[in-house]
Homo-oligomer: A and B are copies of this chain.
Amino acid sequence: MKEKIIEKLTEIVGERLLIDVDDRVSYGYDASFGQYMPDYVVQVMSTEEVQKIVQLANAYEIPIYPRGASTSLSGGPLPVHAGIVMDFSQWNQYLEIFPDDLLIKASPGVKTGDIHQLAEKYNLMYAPDPSSSSICTIGGNLAENAGGPRGVKYGVTKDYVLGLEVVTAEGEVIRTGGNTVKNVTGYDLTKLLIGSEGTLGIITEATLRLIPKPMDTKTAMIIFEDLYTAGKSISKILTSGVRPSKMEILDQNAINKVEDYAGLDLPRTAAAILLVEVDGDTDVLMKELHVIQQALLEIGVENVQIAKTKEEEARLWQVRKLVSPAIVQSGYTKISEDATVPLSKIPDMFRKIDEMKKKYNLNIVVFGHAGDGNLHPTINTNMRDADEVTRVEDAVEEIFHYAIELGGTLSGEHGIGTMKKPFFPKEVGEAGMVFQKAIKQALDPKNILNPGKIFPEAGEKRLVLKND
């Protein structure tokens, strides 16, 4: 049977079928946890190839796992039940801009950073900017509905996709949406498929919306003596009348990691710093930062440092970019969470995370997209220390439950994947699960599209950090 599949896959993709153990091993992990072994890896290069492979997989009921650059933090592309990994990273040939329509069309393997660059050549902007944009693929961004720092003003991937070409579980090719910003013709399959983590259909092309590139930016760093005030400041800024284009927070732990790593002269004793960017016409940016400064004065926040030069501004954003590398560098395993809460609850969430640090004796760094309530409490842990792993699992579980209790969500931008599926029913409720499963069942009745993701399987009740 395996030989027959190999023969058929070879007919479709030729040498782009990988079956050696070495090759398969390297397709078994992503930026989260767990290592799985796929049976086959196919590097697809066209819609027709995807279609034929899905038809084959459908006939033989073989699982398919679409995969971009494998930067997923939630286990999105992991081949948890073996089967076929469908690697899109080589299919990066198609990238076309239609400047008069404010559109870009791209094949799934195109790097997000290349889309940014092409748009900017025309003085336009593709707004979603996941931190991994220099390596991640647009296909992965679509599957996971990737976010990024600009989300506070410009929204996320879903807000910039007008249409998709998709291969269904039956191996049919459909087009969703179109080339217009407004479209209310039938159900919005585009927005259903984006963020569905490859479980409802396989995206083979996307039509993305561009907007005029803002003329200029200006950035301020706000320094806080306590975390609670830092949290309060976020709502205060967002209700000042100004719309920041980025609004990122680093707690003391994060500041010190970056400082240890890169020595950028950061205030090591601050409880937190907030980086706030405004964008638009050069002439009003300073005025807008002063509006923010004034609003913050009302709650006693005085330490606002405005970058005077473009170099200084770049240095501030470098700080944010270095948080993840700095944490990785500091040793052990990095567990990134992205529980998200309503804006006014950010101070509560900070307090909770602080409590978790003490209660479970863990090293937790907090940073993230403050302006959307999307924090990334990140735990540095030694995966060989079984007791510590259990404490991590307990702490993360408590953080998830608390986020939901505050009216927030398990995941703001990383997705559910394998990592958070045990907690999914808690957020959506029993009737919600029935509704969610009905959609999956209707569109992929044989469960061949990225099985083992989003929906918990029998016995899965805890954070999935281990592969067992």
CB contact list, A41-81 vs B, under 8 A: none
In the complex, are the beta carbons of A374 and B435 less than 8 A apart?
no
CB distance from A392 to the nearest CB of B (A): 21
In whole angstroms, how far apart are the Cα atoms of A189 and B122 in the complex?
A: 35
In the complex, are the beta carbons of A183 and B242 less than 8 A apart?
no
A261 within 8 A of B: no
| The stretch of A192-200, A269-277, A316-324 that contacts the partner chain | A192-200
CB contact list, A257-314 vs B, under 8 A: 280-281, 283-284, 287-288
Say which residue of B168, B194, B343 sits within 8 Å of A102 (CB atoms): B343
Q: Beta-carbon contacts of A154-188 to B below 8 Å, as 1s and 0s?
A: 01101100000000101011111011111111111
Q: Beta-carbon contacts of A377-416 to B below 8 Å, as 1s and 0s?
A: 0000000000000000000000000000001111111111
A465 within 8 A of B: no
Given A151-B181, A181-B373; A195-B188 close (CB under 8 Å): yes
A239 within 8 A of B: yes
Which of chain B's residues have a CB closer than 8 A to the CB of A342?
Answer: 98, 101, 103, 179-180
In the complex, are the beta carbons of B184 and A200 less than 8 A apart?
no
CB contact list, A69-108 vs B, under 8 A: 98-103
Say which residue of B123, B413, B416 sits within 8 Å of A239 (CB atoms): B123
Q: Closest residue to A403 on the B side, CB-wise?
A: B180
Chain B CB count within 10 A is highest, among A122, A152, A185, A424, for A185
CB contact list, A193-213 vs B, under 8 A: 194-196, 200-201, 211-213
CB distance from A258 to the nearest CB of B (A): 24
Given A144-B184, A168-B431, A184-B145; A178-B408 close (CB under 8 Å): yes
In the complex, are the beta carbons of A155 and B144 less than 8 A apart?
no
CB distance from A75 to the nearest CB of B (A): 13
In the complex, are the beta carbons of B186 and A454 less than 8 A apart?
yes
| The stretch of A2-10, A28-36, A110-118, A439-447 that contacts the partner chain | A439-447
CB distance from A457 to the nearest CB of B (A): 15
In the complex, are the beta carbons of A100 and B344 less than 8 A apart?
yes
Which of chain B's residues have a CB closer than 8 A to the CB of A340?
Answer: 180, 182-183
In the complex, are the beta carbons of A124 and B188 less than 8 A apart?
no
A218 within 8 A of B: no
In the complex, are the beta carbons of B159 and A436 less than 8 A apart?
no
Which of chain B's residues have a CB closer than 8 A to the CB of A366?
Answer: none
In the complex, are the beta carbons of B238 and A180 less than 8 A apart?
no
Say which residue of B180, B424, B443 sits within 8 Å of A186 (CB atoms): B424
In the complex, are the beta carbons of A416 and B283 less than 8 A apart?
no
Task: Identify the A interface with B (CB < 8 A).
Answer: 98-103, 122-124, 144-145, 147, 151-152, 155-156, 158-159, 168, 170, 172-176, 178-189, 191-192, 194-196, 200-201, 211-213, 215, 235, 238-243, 280-281, 283-284, 287-288, 340-345, 369, 372-374, 407-416, 420, 424, 427-429, 431-432, 434-436, 438-443, 454
Known interface pairs A180-B342, A184-B416, A189-B435; 4 further A-B residue pairs with C-beta atoms within 8 A, sorted by A's residue number: A174-B431, A175-B432, A182-B369, A182-B373
Q: 8 A-B pairs, CB-CB below 8 angstroms?
A: A100-B235, A155-B159, A179-B342, A185-B427, A212-B240, A212-B243, A281-B284, A439-B443
